[in-house]
Amino acid sequence: MNLKITKDIKEANLITHASTFHPDDVFSTAFLTKIVSNPVVCRVNYVPDDINKDSIVYDIGFGSFDHHGPDAKWRDEKIKYCSFGLLWETYGREYLKTITEDYEILWQAIDEKLVKQIDGIDNGLFPQVNAPYSLLDLDAIIDLYNKAWDEDVDNDENFLKAVACALDIFDRLIRKELAKIKASKKVNELIDQVEGNILILDEYMPYQEAIFNSVKPKAKEIKVVIFPSNRGGYSIKPMTINEKSKELVCHFDTRFYGLHDEELAQISQIKSARFVHASGFLACTNTLDDAILLAQNAINNNEERK
């Protein structure tokens, strides 16, 4: 990481607030290291008049990249922009143009999967999880880097550690989304080859978004996807009814659920069948021909789901 931190505001070209840090100022700083040459950050309690005129001031000072004033911008009817959202809106596309020609698709993906979450969190809209456990969300993860009450450390140094963490998350998300864009193009080409409601991939790649977003008529026919398993053989996965649902459009014979190897092969009459997951969302065979047979079993299964 090329970021330096200073106590002297006149040395800084990045200025944000001091004290406890949050995902907003941390991810803002991480992103700014991508677009500012030789970034030097200063964390302050107020912004004096004699700062470097080329400095970017954010999350403090009521300027273009602060969201604490009465004229703060809303990104939609529920969420205001935070500083990261404002910086991403202003500089995000130009940065991504240096990475890919698909910068608009990538910008939208990062905005939806990271920036919007931080906008919401920093404006008091926290995720609600209906589960019997606590969620270690992005806000809680970044807060781990703030010094504990009994630690005798400079929190500026902890801020740098938090920025390094945020930078890694940001870079990995970019990498994954670029791979997904590449996969979408490949999957969209293979949709033309769909037969019998089955899409066969020659290697695993993210496929759901591509299928649901495709305008090709055959995309709507796909009920099962087959691809090489990273454990050898072939994986068979029924499609879900939509991108956010876990409900499957078809399902294997429930007698197969949880069975493995010889027992599964005997009951299914599919020689190289290796297993069907206990919840039915995944199956595996040793050969492609048998994978197609197991996929056809799911497609033709009229058994009423329980």
Mean pLDDT for the stretch of residues 233-259: 94
pLDDT above 90 coverage of the chain, percent: 84
289 falls in which pLDDT band (50, 70, 90)? very high
Mean pLDDT for the stretch of residues 113-119: 96
What tens digit of pLDDT does each residue of 42-53 get?
999 999 988 888
What tens digit of pLDDT does each residue of 139-165 get?
999 999 999 999 999 999 999 999 999
CA distance 131 to 135: 9
CA angle 14/16/17 to nearest 5° reads: 160
Which of residues 304 and 166 earns the better pLDDT score? 166
What pLDDT is attached to residue 139? 93
> Would the pLDDT of 37 be above 80?
yes
Q: Write out the two tokens for 186.
A: 């490949």
Contacts of 295 (CB under 8 A, 6+ apart): 198, 224, 226, 236
